[in-house]
Structure 1
Amino acid sequence: MAALPHTDDLRKLFSKLIDGSHILHFHQVVDAYGHLSFRYPLDPDIFVMSRNIAPAQVSEIRDLVAYRVGDAEPLEAESPPGFAERRIHSEVYKRHPQVNAVVHSHSEAVVPYTISGVPLRAVSHMCGFLGANGLPVFDTADHMENSDVDDLLVRSENMGAHLAKHFDDGNNVTLMRGHGFTVVASSIELAVMRAVYTQKNASIQTTALMLQGVTGVTGGVKSLSKDECMASDKTTQWSLMRPWNLWVQEIECNKVYKKML
């Protein structure tokens, strides 16, 4: 990371990236797979994410790599190997200048909503950011080019660009068929919170659907209205640092996670 000046503000972002990676693992939003990134505030054409290791193992600055938004290549030639799917992040940053943090997850609670045709909607007051209309589902099969690998991963600029278009209408989360989901936000803290609560919302909605199936209740699961989504999202963002500070304390007390800055 010698390519970026290690100012106090940048070190704080490094610390948040490490904490956020650990929090996502603590909440089982990620396991050995999945990743978090942030846009470098002094140059919007640079973003930072970890090298190709499990999120729980990210622990120090040498685990982090700075990439160019333009081509998702590292600033430093001798950088450690990166994630195959870093173009999820680069293409979102390229298309959406308001986005400053991205999370990608393979959450098993969410994947059923990528393949079943059942829309994932906000059903909890903590999840208004999901919206009332059902999340869009990105499918790699719709965008294959000859050079793309047919493994559902977003490896290429082509795939990343098509995924990034799914955020054009202002939605904060896009589902990925048979794969997982991607979250965007204006900060690391908000991206992590949205990822955690996307998974929670999926679990709540699935439980409600199962209850209906067992009891024979009909009429569908009652989700939040558009106005309720907007108001509850505003309230949740207002209280953002409450869960963040708790989650940081939880991971600091857990010996699985290490941070050496």
Structure 2
Amino acid sequence: MASTNITQLLATYIHALHILHHHGVLDGYGHLSVRNPDNAATFFMMHQRAPALVSGLDDIGEYRVSDAEPVSPGTPAAPLERYIHSETLERYPDINVVLHGHAGELVSYSISDVPLRAAIHMAPFLGEEVPNFDITKYYLPNDTHDFLVRDQRLGAALAAEFDSHWGPGNKSSLVLMRSHGFTAIAADIETTTYKGIYAVVNARVQSEAIKIQHAYSGPRAEGGGGIAYLTPRQIRDSWQTEKQLIQRPWALWVREVKVNPLYVNELDPDR
């Protein structure tokens, strides 16, 4: 039997899965994990199940951070790519939540030379540079070349990308994964959900702006005018503002999934 605090945490976790599906960040695939606040050496994650259909404790397992193996024998199968979560949580003790999905808007930037950049003030967490993890560089001769993070070695390589372009103590909030998707991290569920949603929104806005810019034939086109991305100062100041306001959209997102009959959250006391 889960404690009251853990039950509350997992109720929020289930809401996040439903919200991320509702907003197109997760589809039938993808997954979310959250570190156990009572034991930092373990984490909770859905079993091998579509995010929108996770509804209660029977759909969630507890796994060891050290090797992604279940704490309790007989636990149903976890997502194959659970090593994304275990290795990221292992590398960054200040991170408690890991999100992995395959949103097409972000995949497009993983396979092109166009860098994903912070284009809107709602996505300053993208920073000045978004790393792109190319799993093909880490394949051994007998590995399966399906772009899935299947073991601890590949999970550790992905986790290292979060601080590959940053100084000590700093890391990116999101890493693209070539031909695959993305992984995002934060200290709590609400912030991670926010990052997933607005990373997709930012990618959509940036892609549309690029199309408009390339189609434009007015006087600015030959004058070198281009797309206005956030400056380093704007990135820093915008995130200082936005991270204080996450509960505002979170309340709306929870309401959206609670009134939708597709989503069932057995752990929500107000259901």
Return the TM-score normalized by structure 2. Answer: 0.92
Report matched runs for 1:52-91 at 5 Å: 52-91=48-87
2:158 counterpart SS class:
helix
Deviation of 1:66 after TM superposition, in Å, equals 0.4
CA offsets 1:70-108 (integer angstroms, 9 cap, x no match): 010001111111100010000000101010101101001
- 4+ residue runs over 4 A deviation: none
CA displacement at 1:147 relative to structure 2: 4.8
Cα contact 1:148–1:156 (8 A) shared by 2: no
One-letter identity of the residue aligned with 2:196: A
Question: Is contact 1:36–1:101 with CA below 8 Å preserved after alignment?
Answer: yes
1:24 aligns with 2:20: yes
Alpha-carbon RMSD: 1.0
Q: Which residue in the other structure is 1:180 paired with?
A: 181
* Displacement of 1:220: 3.3
- Whole-angstrom distance in 1 between the partners of 2:213 and 2:22: 30
Q: Distance in 2 between matches of 1:82 and 1:8?
A: 24
Letter in 1 for 2:162: F
Cα displacement (A) at 1:20: 0.3
- Select which of 202, 227, 237 maps to 2:243: 237
Q: Which has the larger radius of gyration?
A: 2
Cα distance in 1, alignment partners of residues 191 and 216 from structure 2: 37
Q: CA–CA distance in 1 between the matches of 2:24 and 2:87?
A: 26
Secondary structure of 1:11's match? helix
Gaps of 5+ in 2: none
Counterpart in 2 of 1:117? 113
Aligned AA for 1:15?
A: A
| d(CA) in 1 for partners of 2:152, 2:175 | 17
8 Å contact kept, 1:148–1:155: no
1:225 is aligned to 2:231:
yes
Aligned partner of 1:129 in structure 2 is 125
Bigger shift: residues 217-226 or 71-80: 217-226
Identity level (%): 40
SS of residue paired to 1:184: strand
Q: How does 1:147-162 map to 2 (within 5 A)?
A: 147-162=142-157
Q: Give the distance between the partners of 2:226 and 2:207, measured in 1 at CA.
A: 12
Q: Give the match's secondary structure for 2:140.
A: coil
